[in-house]
Amino acid sequence: MTVEEDKFMEEDSKFLPCLGLSEIQKDAESSKIIEIEEGNTFEISAELVTKNINGNDYLGYNGELPGPTLKVKQGSTMHINFINNIVYDTTIH
Q: What is the pLDDT of residue 78?
A: 94
Q: For the chain, what is the domain count?
A: 1
Q: What is the pLDDT of residue 60?
A: 86
In a domain, 93, yes or no: no
Question: Residue 58's domain spans which residues?
Answer: 3-84
Q: Under a CB-based contact definition with an 8 Å cutoff, are residues 40 and 78 in contact?
A: yes
Q: Which residues 6+ apart lie within 8 Å of 29 measured at CB?
A: 49, 63, 64, 65
pLDDT < 70 positions in the chain:
1-25
In a domain, 10, yes or no: yes
In a domain, 91, yes or no: no
